[in-house]
Structure formats: structure tokens, C-alpha cells
Amino acid sequence: QIPYRFVYLLAAAIMVAPLVVLFRLRPFGDLQVGRLKDVFGVLKNRKAVSFLLFMVLPIYACSVFISYVTPLAVDAYGFSATVVSALLLANYLISAYASPYMTRVVSKRFTSTVACILYVVLCAAIIAAYTLFPSMPMLLVVVVGLGLADAFGTGMMTDAYTRTRGTYAYHDNDALVAYILMTRIGVT
């Protein structure tokens, strides 16, 4: 019920706290920044490239499902923009707060590779269920289901990806830069 201008000004004011903390704590250690050549060196690893193309790219391409479909569907069902915000917030909160528990449970039962496959299958099944049975109650199931899947899936994907290095001689930082670039490509 407050104007957008006030919300954005409040957000700007909140950003002062991280700046103060950053200047007071001064992070320790040198930041290892690889060259672009080193990042492309990761692409010599077939396992890493396969993982990026066939796991990371598709899952991040599907990750926009919530942010794309929710506003359109909620509007089509006749609800307000506040419901859109509430659903998106619920998805993000479920993902964030369930993450430690879900990751612990899943990692005790499955290897990171199997957990990645489970993550992809769950996301595909949830999206397919909404596509076959579109309704507001099913959208709620999708929001919760994808939030729970993301709670363990994103961390397990990073772990499985870093394990593809094998005997290749590159830094994890370089591999993670390639991973992040692929996630951005997937989201776009």
C-alpha cells in the first residue's frame, strides 16, 4: 500500500549496510581471477562441457518458468499483482529456507550426480503437470514444488559439476565462471 518510489528509496537505503560492512571488514586473501583463456580451458574437458550443455543449460532455461508463467497465469485467473508477488516470494523463501535441510537429506541418500538427475526429473514433471492441468491450485503446487526442488538442486548441480574436472588442470574458479556464464545463457 506504499508508493513504489518509497520502496525503491528504502531498497537503496538498505544497500548502505553492506557497503559499511564491506569497508569495515575488508575481506582477507587475494582474489584469484583467471584469464579468459583459462576459462576457455575448461571447455577442453568433455565431461564438463556435456554437463554444462545437457544439465545446466536446460535446467536454467526452465528456471524462468516461475517468473514468466506466474504473472501471466495469475492475471488470467483474475487475481491481483499482489498475488504474483506473494507467489514469487513464497517460491524464493521455500528455496532458501528449505535448502540446508533438503540438501542434507538428499546428499545422505544420493550422490550429487543422481541428485542432479532427480532435480531435473522433478522440475520436468512439475512443469509438465502444470502444462497438462493449468489451474490456480496447480500453480500453487508448482510454486512449492519448484521451490523445494531448487532447495537441493542448485547446490547439488554445482557439486556435481566441480567433480567433472577429473585429471584436467584448471582452477575451480575458472570452472565456476564457465558454469555461471552457462546459467546466464540458460536464463536468457
28, 164 Cβ separation under 8 angstroms: no
Q: Residue 27's pLDDT is what? A: 66
Average pLDDT over residues 153-181: 88
99, 155 Cβ separation under 8 angstroms: yes
Q: Residue 29's pLDDT is what? A: 66
Average pLDDT over residues 122-139: 96
* Residues 9-67: tens digit of each pLDDT: 888 899 888 888 888 777 666 666 667 888 888 889 999 999 999 999 999 988 889 98
Q: Residue 157's pLDDT is what? A: 94
Helical spans, DSSP H, in 133-171: 136-162
Spatial separation of the C-alpha atoms in residues 88 and 107, rounded to whole Å? 26
**Which range is most confident: 124-128, 160-164, 173-177?**
124-128
Burial class from Cβ neighbours inside 10 Å (0-12, 13-18, 19+) for residue 116 reads buried
Tell whether the model's pLDDT for residue 127 goes beyond 90.
Answer: yes
| Residue 160 banded pLDDT, cuts 50, 70, 90 | very high
